[in-house]
Structure 1
Amino acid sequence: MFRYAEVLVDVANRRLDQSYHYAIPEHFALIIGMRVLVFLQNRKVQGLVVNVTNDLPDELASVKLKPVLEIVDEESLVPTELIELAHWLAKTTICSVAQCLHTVWPLLKGKVEEWIILQVSIKDPDVQTLQWLDTDAYRAISVLNRARSKSISLKIFLKRANISVEMLEKLIQQGLAKKETRFVSTGEGSKRKASCNEGPLEINGSNSPSGRTYELTVEQASAVSKVSAALEGGSSQTVLLHGVTGSGKTDVYRELITKVLVEGGDAILLVPEISLTSQVARYFETQFGGKVIILHSGLQPREKMKAWEDILSGQKRIVIGARSAVFAPLPNLRLIILDEEHDGAYKQDENPKYHARDVARKRMEQRKGVVLLGSATPSLEAYAAAQSGKIHLLTMTARIGMSVLPPVEIVDMREELLNGNRSMFSLLLQQKLRERLERGEQTMLFLNRRGYSTFVVCRECGYVMGCPNCDIALTYHSQGQAMCCHYCNHKELPPHTCPQCGSRYIRFFGQGTQRVEEELQGLLPEVPILRLDFDTTRSGEAHRTILESFRRQKASILVGTQMMAKGLDFPNVTLVGVIAADQMLNMPDFRARERTFQLLTQVAGRAGRSIKAGEVVIQTYSPTEGAILRAAHHDFQGFFWEEIRYRKVRRYPPFTHIIRVLLLHEKEDRVIRGANDLGACLQQGMQNPKFGNNELDILGPAPAVLPRLKNQWRWQVSVKGTNLDQLRAFLHRGVQMFYKNSASSGVVLNIEVDPLSS
């Protein structure tokens, strides 16, 4: 029996975020992965046993250790690989290990509470034996007697019984009640031990994927064959599947998952949005039935606990869900698929700020399995890794069946203005809308609304005000009435005339889907229109209801944001219109061109997905912009090499890494002072020879894109460099210096590695 336990305490305070050694009582049989209660600075906290040993570090040899107080749950063990994953996550995201543990193993969630337990057997609290008690004591015993299992949390007990702490101590001394420390889990449920799954899966009565009701194309079959070879290779691999919209990537996923299950393995399929999980799951349930389970952050704690228990027991072997499903504890996990891998939704906004792609690769490194990244518009990072040979690249260049990629027409909105058309709809788009209505076909109109960003554009020549230092669009701030760069804090006054052509038609640019819907209804008053955006999908079933109504052709036009650019397939949609490509292109973000190309390509891919031919109209004030032209020609290769050269010159990812520190405080002057002080600490760190010669750049301090949110002022400081480990070390040193200064008092730091947005 081991004598000592190394316990990782469950506290979010980074100062205490480490493991501590405790003595193991003789009657405890502790093993790695158990949850325990321990004392930390005179308070009881939950901890996780990460090691058991008979030997102590030298510095603890003469120290009297506190004992482990209690085993919380002997059956619910955290797998060792997920403990390792939490440590890796903490290191790579610069977050506390405790927060990472809660992310990878949500069954840990709960709190330590004091409970009061009735010690005497009482059938009826009105019996004569209790008449000697005074009124307060009698009321307290009655409350305990009515409680389930004759026990109740101390906090609730004192409130219901309405007695003093002194009276409670008197009851305990007289042996009528006792106090006990308990760990109360969030969403309590039945406990099951992890077990192996049922082995190879029979599909349609045989051990072969003959349940397929479709024929694979040559490109699909080739992709399946090559990923299958990677699965059989016995080493961790990442494969990028670059397939144009409508090329049948989902059928490839289903074929590969079938193969994995037949051979006794498990699989995870990730989609970027919670709203997509149900429709994707229905597609897989037709073949795999009850083996499929949906996981996402929208589940209630009890639902999630039940789901994880079904996964651990081997009842569920295919997990479909949004990014948090990447942590699903499948016993024989062999394949993780990220559909639409380029999507920013795979990056977590809250601590730990992980990217599902990175977690998937780490998990398959542990399991010697395969990560499959699928997209029609891969992220530059993933495609660059494929071009350099770090990951494998597979391509599918043709749509399945009779459909073909739709032709795209670009409309110069400057010309529309010169011709007297002040509507947000070009004459060409209006004409094509009416043609679809006459033929009984449907249209999707796309607008990427981000109301917090407003840039300045000349409606005559297309000039956009940009930062001279960062080549990023400047953002207008009503407070101070200035144009500001959110990278280096360069500021300018908004111009009255265009600096390039002298036109007075230079305006703040920004419009939303609601305005598009209203103007469209005025243009076509008798036409039924649906809108799909954040405002119309707040309720749980609204997203599905809107799409189902459009699928049943109850509306002729669907107006929406990027929600409708993902995974939607409507056979009767033959026209897609992009209202304002500039609204994506001129966001204050170095990834704006990449996002513009991706969104235009993805939304264009919604048209002509059946035997009916499709068309796309893109409206813009920048008709010669490379991202728009490449998207119009469905030319990913051309866009990639153009953009990668731009990134290299500007030293943006994937050639460098960026770590952003967001500072938050309720008072503006405090957060500005804190940001300037952190910037000074980082500048001082540049004098250190260890960091001074490593091409490190400090960006800012500057106000965040959202300078105020939820009653907190926000500023940011970023550091940029080629060596990520050194960058983390440099920032860590600067943050430590910052916390020693008075300017840090009350300022919250939010750190993110390689942020996907400004």
Structure 2
Amino acid sequence: MQYAEILVDVANRRLDQIFHYQVPPSLSLQAGMRVIVPLGHRQVQGIVLRTTEVLPEEVKGCVLKQVLGVVDDAFAIPEDLLKLALWMAERTICPIAQSLHAVWPLMKGKVEDWVVPLVSKEDEDVKTLKFLDPEFYKGFSVLFRSRQKALPLQVFLKRSGFNQGKLEELVKQGWLRLESRFTSGIPAGSAKQFHEETRLHENEGIESTQRDGDRDGNDRSTQRAEHWKLTSEQAQACQRIEKALAEKVYQTILLHGVTGSGKTEVYREVIAKMIAQGGTAILLVPEISLTSQVEHYFQKQFGKQVIVLHSGLKSGVKANAWQEIIKGQIKLVIGARSAVFAPLPNLRLIILDEEHEGAYRQDENPKYHARDVARKRMEQHQGVVVLGSATPSLEAYAAAQTGQIGFAKMEHRVADRPLPPVEIVDMREELIKGNRSMFSVALQSKLRLRLEKREQSIIFLNRRGYSTFVNCRECGYVARCPDCDVALTYHSQGQVMRCHYCNHEEAPPHNCPECGSRYIRFFGQGTQRVEEELRGLFPQARILRLDWDTTRNQENYERILTAFRKQDADILVGTQMLAKGLDFPNVTLVGVVAADQLLNMPDFRAKERAFQLLTQVAGRTGRSNKPGEVIIQTYSPQNRAIVLASQHDYPHFFWDEIKYRKERRYPPFTHIIRVVLLHEKEQTVIRAAHSLTEYLRLGILNNENENNDLVILGPAPAVLSRLKNKFRWQVLVKGKHLEPLSAFLHQGVQKYAQDSSSQGVQLSIEVDPLYMG
């Protein structure tokens, strides 16, 4: 007798285990196959881990159910990705089913009953039925009109008008039978549709590359290595990466290159040589919006060997792309976070451009970081991970400094262009001088000069909308979201107040709802308000705004950037979208309106993010033959993050920040796992949070933590204590070593899951969270 070890596709922690089933003689199974299996009183999809003829002792003697059928034997999950899913579930402490769906999007769908006719339309009994019972024939014949000559049960009942009793009668009489089938959640598509949706026309791409230039300082119309001479720093970086690839052992290399140093050209050179040797590669970018411009750069050389993957693609298109990759037709995958799972054969290289970006972290289960997944995949394939950034994450730079990963650096811009000088403006002095504008005298003067010289400017603010909050000066009332308990943001476009967590909208009040006062005003600074004030100061200026509100779809994003690139606008106002890989040769001024907003978040990473964002946005100017300059406006001009960002001095910032992290036992000197508990009732979530904490503390007392270095913080309300109508409490666990820390928390969560206090309470677990909201 043959048996199969099956992982069921049910995201329930109580079912998060391996189940054993009998394999009927009629089925031939192998690891990675998707099958239909009974589970309790229902039928579900499962994944075969392995087949065996020997059962473990704890299962022997049990009555085992049989595997019912195979869902798809054409595209079994490769062994390396199956192991990756298991590792990721353990690493992120999430149900295995959720991890499998992230790794293999072709799993999307469900098992359901289908109605199958046991007769054909041409049978004499059916023809006779047409005259004897027209109503019955009409309902029955809907099966013959369907493409598959069968229908899902609920669809059949709706179209035929039959009830459940009538259906059972037909089954008994032998007209119909019910069978379980896997209904894919992925609509059918075609390769043609895939190419239409994921690629622009080649001539459009060439035109775009000729307009863009290389966002790291190179001319993108020069596509091939023989047409472009690498700088000495670029050549050294390439040699370092190529040497690692030749050694055919797993390695990670940090490529630390200042903005405009030509990191993209290094990627292209290394990928070209690796593909020529028969390997394949994945190039990740932090945002979907960046994939098209990166694709343009690589497609000229690699043509149809390049494919783009990201979560914005329609599911059918993505499935077709996945199948194209599996068949070995693709050599380079470009995409956002989820592209890290692309099932490329002979995968040798994964590159994360702008590796410091928080967008590489998945917010939903499994809460993986693409950097960690890339490392695991290259560990499996004995390949190389390249982390590229002008402002690396502290963890990556620390690993490079201690020799845990390789290091390559590029300290100069292409063509020895200078980094832009940065002026820090103390806004406190502006107020003393009577300047009530959100723009300093210096920034206004430099904007005016750029308009006269027909050069372009970028104004950066890390907040979208018109105003931070709506406030009453009489009683202090602040308009808040009824579901999330956060201040609503006023938007002049449409004149609405909106919650930027759940999208709740309200009309702004004319009088205070609390005291009736007429002194209710809009306070704070948002991108819409910045745009309005600029129009007041410079009515002749052509101004565009780039934030989430103006770019809710890719078309608007491309339209705004194309207009600015063609110099159809003088000033571009935007949020941190502006800091990510954009290159405009005519931009000679960048102004940061309120740097303090970056520093005052309730998060130990706030200074790191502020430095990274200020450095990146400053790097958008002076990228051509025209010199650029930067103005940073702040009420904290002595803050080290701002001062060192103005000097483009990452090493000094790193040593300052790493000292602070070490003193307070923050990453990279320790690991943090954050558990957020959510429920509509506050008392329920409080009780659950205390229950979980008690199980964890008992675990420490029972010596379940081998290293005895654990610290449990909480339970406590989360920074956003209410979000989308759910109360949020959190428990933090800190420890020096991640594996025993994860194992310890997993044991505590499993015990808590058996407690009645866990019923109905949602858990959100994140390992080394990037944000503490």
Q: TM-score, normalised by structure 1?
A: 0.88
Superposition pairs of residues 415-434 of structure 1, within 5 angstroms: 415-434=429-448
Provide the rounded CA distance (Å) in 1 between the counterparts of 2:522 and 2:656.
29
Whole-angstrom distance in 1 between the partners of 2:602 and 2:92: 24
CA distance in 2, matches of 1:149, 1:389: 60
Question: Who is 1:57 aligned against?
Answer: 56
Q: Output the CA distance in 2 between the equivalents of 1:530 and 1:158.
A: 54
Matched, 1:628 2:657: no
Q: Distance in 1 between matches of 2:408 and 2:267?
A: 13
Show the counterpart of 1:251.
Answer: 265
- Of 393, 412, 435 in structure 1, the residue corresponding to residue 449 of structure 2 is 435
Q: SS in structure 2 opposite 1:58?
A: coil
Equivalent residue, structure 1, for 2:585: 571
Shift of 1:444: 0.4
Give me the identity figure in percent.
63
Which one-letter code corresponds to 1:34 in the other structure? M
Q: Is 1:528 matched up with 2:527?
A: no
What residue is the counterpart of 1:603 in the other structure? Answer: 617
Counterpart residue number, 1:538: 552
Cα distance in 2 for partners of 1:734, 1:54 equals: 34
CA contact (8 A) 1:271 1:338 kept: yes
Q: 1:713 to 1:227 in 2, by over 3 A?
A: same
Letter in 2 for 1:623: P
Question: Could you list the per-position Cα deviations for residues 26-55 of structure 1 after superposition, in whole angstroms to 9, with x for gaps in the alignment?
Answer: 122111111111111132111111111111
**Matched residue SS, 1:401:** helix
Asked if 2 retains the 8 angstrom alpha-carbon contact of 1:402 and 1:611, the reply is: no
Find the counterpart in structure 2 of residue 502 from structure 1. Answer: none
Measure, in 2, the Cα distance between the counterparts of 1:690 and 1:313: 46
CA distance in 1, matches of 2:583, 2:124: 66
Q: In structure 1, the residue corresponding to 2:58 is in which secondary structure?
A: helix
Between 600-609 and 27-36, the greater mean CA deviation after superposition: 27-36
Q: Distance in 2 between matches of 1:436 and 1:452?
A: 25
> Match for residue 287 of structure 1?
301
Structure 2 residue identity aligned to 1:112 = V
1:749 partnered with 2:748: no
Contact 2:674 2:730 in 1 (8 A): yes
Question: In 2, distance between residues paired with 1:716 and 1:452?
Answer: 32
Q: 1:362 aligns with which of 362, 376, 391?
A: 376
Structure 1 position 74, deviation (Å)? 1.9
* 1:250, distance to aligned residue in structure 2 (A): 0.1
Cα distance change on mapping 1:731 and 1:673 into 2, 3 Å: same
SS where residue 719 of structure 2 aligns?
strand
More divergent stretch after superposition (577-586 vs 145-154) = 145-154
Is contact 2:735-2:741 (8 Å) kept? yes
Q: Does the alignment pair 1:721 with 2:735? A: yes
AA of the residue aligned to 1:119: L
Larger deviation, residues 549-558 vs 121-130: 121-130
For residues 294-693 of structure 1, what are the structure 2 equivalents within 5 Å? 294-449=308-463, 510-691=524-705
Determine if contact 1:704/1:716 at 8 Å carries over to the other structure: yes
Task: Please report how far the alpha carbon of residue 680 of structure 1 lies from its aligned counterpart in structure 2 after TM superposition.
Answer: 3.9
**Distance apart, 1:334 and its partner CA:** 0.6
1:57 CA drift (Å): 0.9
Could you tell me which residue of structure 2 aligns to residue 706 of structure 1?
720
Amino acid at match of 1:619: Q
Report the secondary structure of 1:148's partner residue: coil
Query: C-alpha distance in 1, partners of 2:702/2:277?
Result: 55
Q: Distance in 2 between matches of 1:734 and 1:67?
A: 33
CA-based RMSD of the aligned residues comes to: 2.5
Tell me which amino acid in the other structure corresponds to 1:236. Answer: Y
CA distance in 2, matches of 1:451, 1:714: 26
Report what 2:204 is aligned to.
none
C-alpha distance in structure 1 between counterparts of 2:282 and 2:645, whole Å: 31
Alignment correspondent of 1:23: 22
Equivalent position amino acid for 1:271 in 2 = V
Q: CA deviation at 1:403?
A: 2.2
Instruction: Name stretches of at least 5 consecutive residues in structure 2 with no aligned partner.
Output: 192-222, 470-484, 489-520
Q: Answer whether contact 1:236 1:364 (CA < 8 A) is retained.
A: yes
Which secondary structure state, in structure 2, belongs to the residue aligned with residue 372 of structure 1?
strand
1:282 Cα deviation from its structure 2 partner: 0.5
Tell which deviates more after alignment, 27-36 or 620-629.
Answer: 27-36
Indicate the SS of the match to 1:531.
strand
Aligned letter for 2:244? A
Partners of 1:509 and 1:654 lie apart in 2 by 38
Output aligned runs, 1:106-255, within 5 Å.
106-123=105-122, 129-131=128-130, 134=133, 137-189=136-188, 212-255=226-269
* Residue identity in the other structure for 2:569: A
In the TM superposition, what whole-angstrom CA distance separates every residue of 1:524-544 from its partner, at most 9, and x where no partner exists? 122111000000001231111
Decide whether the 8 Å contact of 2:189 with 2:317 is kept in 1: no
Deviates more, 1:729-738 or 1:351-360: 729-738
Give 1:517's aligned amino acid: E
SS of 2:563's equivalent?
helix
| 1:456-489 superposed Cα distances (whole Å, 9 cap, x missing partner) | xxxxxxxxxxxxxxxxxxxx9779xxxxxxxxxx
Matched, 1:82 2:96: no
- For 1:560, give the aligned amino acid: G
Post-superposition offset of 1:127? 7.7
Say if 2:355 and 2:387, in contact at 8 Å, map to a contact too. yes
Q: Name the SS for the 1:149 alignment partner.
A: coil
Residues 500-525 of structure 1: per-residue CA shift (max 9 Å, x gap): xxxxxxx9984211111111111112
Cα separation, partners in 2 of 1:452 and 1:228, compared to 1, 3 Å: farther
Q: How many Å apart are 1:136 and its aligned residue?
A: 5.0
Instruction: Identify which range, 593-602 or 697-706, moves more after superposition.
Output: 697-706
Aligned AA for 1:277?
A: T
Identify the residue that residue 98 of structure 1 maps to in structure 2: 97
Question: How far off is 1:451 after superposition?
Answer: 8.2
Q: 1:261 to 1:125 in 2, by over 3 A?
A: farther
- Partner SS state of residue 587, structure 1: coil
Match of 1:490 in 2: none
1:306–1:745 Cα change, 3 Å: same
Distance 1:385 1:133, change over 3 A: farther
AA matched with 1:337 = I
8 Å Cα contact 1:125-1:145 kept in structure 2: no
Tell me if structure 1 keeps the 8 A contact 2:360–2:371.
Answer: yes
Shift of 1:213: 2.2
**Contact 1:403–1:612 under 8 Å retained in 2:** no
Could you tell me which residue of structure 1 aligns to residue 291 of structure 2?
Answer: 277
1: CA distance between counterparts of 2:660 and 2:602?
16
2:486/2:720 contact within 8 Å kept: no
Matched residue pairs, number?
Answer: 695
SS in 2 for 1:60: coil
Q: 3-state DSSP class of the match of 2:115?
A: strand
User: 1:478 and 1:217 mapped to 2: Cα distance?
Assistant: 50
2:220: which partner in 1? Answer: none
1:73 to 2:72 alignment: yes
Show structure 1 runs of 5+ residues with no match.
193-208, 456-475, 480-506
What one-letter code is carried by the residue in structure 2 that aligns with 1:319? Answer: V
CA contact (8 A) 2:85 2:103 kept: yes
Indicate the residue corresponding to 1:35 in structure 2.
Answer: 34
Deviation track 1:119-163 (CA, whole Å, cap 9, x = no partner) reads: 222159998511465465323212112222321111100011111
Change (3 A) 1:54 1:693: closer
Alignment partner of 2:26: what SS? coil
